[in-house]
Amino acid sequence: MAYLFTSESVSEGHPDKVADQISDALIDNFLAFDRESKVACETLVTTGQVMLAGEVKSTTYLDVQKIARDTINKIGYTKGEYMFDGNSCGVLSAIHEQSEEINQGVDRGNKEEQGAGDQGMMFGYATNETENFMPLALDLSHRILKELAELRRENKDITYLRPDSKSQVTIEYSDDNLPQRIDAIVVSTQHDDFADDDTMLAKIRKDIVEILIPRVVAKLPESAQLLFNDDIKYHINPTGKFVIGGPHGDTGLTGRKIIVDTYGGKGAHGGGAFSGKDPSKVDRSAAYATRHIAKNLVAAGVADEILVQVSYAIGVVEPMGIFVDTYGTCPFNLTDGEIAEKVSEIFDMRPFAIEERLKLRSPMYSETAAYGHMGRTNETVTKTFSQPNGENVTLDVELFTWEKLDYVDKVKKAFGL
């Protein structure tokens, strides 16, 4: 029997994502001047206020207020009428030194013996239903909001958009788990005030359906374009007026959108957030590593869909174990346990090995903090960072290294494919 599956996304202007982006901007700035920085930064945003808290061990000093304000302005909160803008909001920092009791379990004389920064389990997932090996409903949800943000910044075809927005896509699947059609699309977008509420709702619905969605569809592969039809149920700003939004409308916290950040409810999640954590925290680094494994396994043809789990104990070098679930989609005679054993032989899952393999001590994290950490484009960009003393550093930074298909040949060789 056919079934429906739904995933959601939130924009860079959503209050929780504002918090994530500030936390990851701090991570990038610490790593730019001190690659060995240990950082766990949390951010709270609300009406006119930003609260920074967390633990840091670093040789560098940063103007955290300026970093927070620059991030907020870049997102688009630049007007006093939003009741939250980068130039006028208060920024309070309660960041302090990392506990030596935690640090002693992580740092070692031999870096290869670096212990895990915390206990826990992390999951990576990949499916061949999209070109980027991501679940389709989440991929479409992200694309809708990225395109909406482009329209907001262009300020040409749609001129009333504000930064906060959410999307949701429901897809009908066949019995054999293949996408058949899009059943429903939800888009809620913050907007400038209108003189007439009925005119406002009609205008926003028309623009979303006739301007936004066609732009999204035009950038999709043909297989995904075919899923769009005139029977899609659209719910556009279903509560009505959405002028009050962002941190003024809803308090935002770092790490509160972990399903949006990963697989939209497909696969599994270990519960740990990513943003604000340096790569010694396996919540982040091992989640990236398991995504890298799952994506390369699917790309190599080991299975059509794969979930990979790894688990750690704080301060312990080797993982507790590696688990693989191919959902019965492996085309040859290997059990999931046998696949997991081969995975442990191909991929070194010690924390320092993960950092080195994926180049995780680079300031690459600001770009991850909105529109998902997975399924993104691996590319190299040039970034410049500044310290309060006037020192600047310009770096070439490789982004989304865990999305590379650089282990496909090794996987094929190991599996005899």
Average pLDDT over residues 314-340: 94
What pLDDT sits at residue 104? Answer: 54
What pLDDT sits at residue 300? Answer: 98
**Which residues line the annotated binding site for ATP?**
14, 164-166, 241-242, 250, 256-257, 273, 277
Give residue limits of the domains in the chain: 3-9+136-246, 120-128+280-415
Q: Is the pLDDT of residue 1 over 90?
A: no
Beginning with the edge strand found earlier in the chain, give each strand of the sheet holding 161-173 in spatial order: 3-10, 161-173, 179-191, 233-236
Of 167, 266, 160, 161, give the one whose Cα is nearest residue 216: 167
**Which residues line the annotated binding site for L-methionine?**
55, 98, 250, 281
What pLDDT sits at residue 257? Answer: 98
What pLDDT sits at residue 102? Answer: 54
> Could you read off the pLDDT of 204-222 as tens digits, one per residue?
999 999 999 999 999 999 9
Q: For residue 198, name the pLDDT band (cuts at 50, 70, 90).
A: confident
What pLDDT sits at residue 115? Answer: 72
What pLDDT sits at residue 316? Answer: 87
**Which residues line the annotated binding site for K(+)?**
42
Q: Do 292 and 407 meet the contact criterion of CB atoms below 8 Å apart? A: yes
Asked whether this chain's domains 3-9+136-246 and 120-128+280-415 adopt the same fold, the reply is yes
Q: Is the pLDDT of residue 85 over 70?
A: yes
> Could you read off the pLDDT of 364-415 as tens digits, one per residue?
999 999 999 999 999 999 999 999 988 999 999 999 999 999 999 999 999 9
Average pLDDT over residues 182-193: 97
Of 104, 78, 76, 61, give the one whose Cα is nearest residue 17: 76
DSSP characters for 311-326? EE-BT-SS-SEEEEE-
What pLDDT sits at residue 417? Answer: 86
Share of the chain above pLDDT 70, in %: 96
Q: For residue 99, name the pLDDT band (cuts at 50, 70, 90).
A: low
Q: Does domain 3-9+136-246 have CATH number 3.30.300.10?
A: yes
> Could you read off the pLDDT of 37-60 as tens digits, one per residue?
999 999 999 999 999 999 999 999
> Could you read off the pLDDT of 269-293 as tens digits, one per residue?
999 999 999 999 999 999 999 999 9
Q: What mean pLDDT value characterizes the chain?
A: 95
The secondary structure element, H or E, covering residue 386 is strand 379-386
d(CA 383, CA 28): 10
**Which residues line the annotated binding site?**
14, 16, 42, 55, 98, 164-166, 241-242, 250, 256-257, 273, 277, 281
**Which residues line the annotated binding site for Mg(2+)?**
16
CATH number of 120-128+280-415: 3.30.300.10
